[in-house]
C-alpha cells in the first residue's frame, strides 16, 4: 500500500520522503493544514510534485502521516523520562511536560505541537484527519492516566480521583496553554500551566 522503504538503493529516495515530512511538519505547525498549500511544502523541501504523489496518495494522507510522525517523535522523547523508575510518578509526569515546554522554547515561537495545532481546525478537516487527531489524543490520555494510576497506588494523589478524567483535564489545560502561547508569542503560558498543575492541582510534593 504505502511504498516500502528501499532496501538496497541507498538513501536518496528515503531522503525525499523524509524531506517532505520535515517540511510539512514545520509549515503545517506554523500555518495549519488548510493554511498551507502543497506548492509551498514542495518548494520548501525542494521536491517536485511528481515525487510527492509518488510517496503520498493525497494531501490528506500526508497530513495523517505527519500526525503519526509527530506523536512518535514526542513519544520517543518522553518515554525514557516516563519509564524512569527512580523518580515518583508525578515527578515523572512533570518532567515530561517540562520537556514539551523546552521544545516549544527552542523552536521558533510560532511553532507549536502539530497535533494541537490541527485540533482546532477540526471544523474544516476531513473526517480521516480528524480521526487521526482524535486517536493521538486518546493515546496521550491513556498514557497520562496510566501514570496517574501509579501515583494513586503509591499514595501521591488521593484515591478519590478518576485517573482518566484527570488525564483529560491535564491534556485540555496543556492545549489551552498552547493556544495562549501562540497568541502572546510567549512561552510563559506554559510556565503558568506547570505551576498550576504541579504546584496547586497535584501539589504538596
Residues forming contacts to DNA in the complex (CB under 7 A) are: 3, 6, 8-9, 12-13, 15-16, 36-40, 47-51, 53-55, 58-60
Distance of CA 76 to the CA centre of its chain: 11
Among 2-10, 47-55, 78-86, 161-169, the segment contacting a copy of itself (CB under 8 A): 161-169
Angle at 145 between CA 100 and CA 167, to 5 degrees: 65
Closest CB to DNA among residues 56, 174: 56
**Can you give the length of the chain in residues?**
205
Q: Which partner, a copy of itself, DNA, none, binds residue 60 by CB below 5 to 8 Å per kind?
A: DNA
Q: Which of 14, 142, 153, 201 binds a copy of itself (CB under 8 A)?
A: 201
- Residue 171: other Cβ atoms inside 10 A: 18
128 near a copy of itself (CB under 8 A): no
The least distance separating a copy of itself from the CB of residue 73, rounded to whole angstroms, comes to 20
Distances, alpha carbon 157 to alpha carbons 77, 99, 148, 154, 162, in Å: 25, 22, 8, 8, 10
The least distance separating DNA from the CB of residue 94, rounded to whole angstroms, comes to 38
Instruction: With CA atoms as reference, report the closest residue to 35 among 120, 113, 103, 133.
Output: 120
176 near a copy of itself (CB under 8 A): yes
> In which residue are the cell numbers 517536485 written?
48
Q: Which partner, a copy of itself, DNA, none, binds residue 133 by CB below 5 to 8 Å per kind?
A: a copy of itself
DSSP 112: -
117 near a copy of itself (CB under 8 A): yes
Amino acid at each position: 500500500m504505502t511504498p516500502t522503504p528501499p532496501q538496497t538503493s541507498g538513501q536518496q529516495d528515503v531522503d525525499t520522503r523524509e524531506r517532505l515530512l520535515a517540511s510539512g511538519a514545520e509549515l503545517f505547525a506554523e500555518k495549519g493544514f488548510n493554511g498551507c498549500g502543497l506548492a509551498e511544502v514542495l518548494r520548501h523541501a525542494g521536491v517536485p510534485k511528481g515525487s510527492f504523489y509518488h510517496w503520498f496518495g493525497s494531501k490528506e494522507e500526508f497530513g495523517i502521516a505527519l500526525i503519526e510522525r509527530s506523536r512518535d517523535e514526542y513519544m520517543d522523547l518522553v518515554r525514557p523520562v516516563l519509564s524512569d523508575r527512580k523518580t515518583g510518578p508525578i515527578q515523572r509526569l512533570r518532567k515530561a511536560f517540562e520537556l514539551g515546554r523546552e521544545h516549544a522554547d527552542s523552536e521558533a515561537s510560532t511553532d507549536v505541537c502539530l497535533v494541537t495545532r490541527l485540533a482546532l481546525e477540526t471544523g474544516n478537516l476531513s473526517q480521516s484527519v480528524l480521526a487521526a487527531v482524535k486517536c493521538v489524543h486518546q493515546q496521550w490520555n491513556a498514557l497520562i492516566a496510566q501514570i496517574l494510576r501509579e501515583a494513586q497506588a503509591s499514595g501521591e494523589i488521593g484515591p478519590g480521583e478518576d485517573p482518566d478524567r484527570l488525564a483529560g483535564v491535564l491534556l485540555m489545560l496543556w492545549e489551552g496553554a498552547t493556544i495562549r502561547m501562540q497568541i502572546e508569542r510567549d512561552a510563559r503560558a506554559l510556565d503558568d500551566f506547570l505551576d498550576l498543575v504541579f504546584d496547586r492541582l497535584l501539589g504538596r510534593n
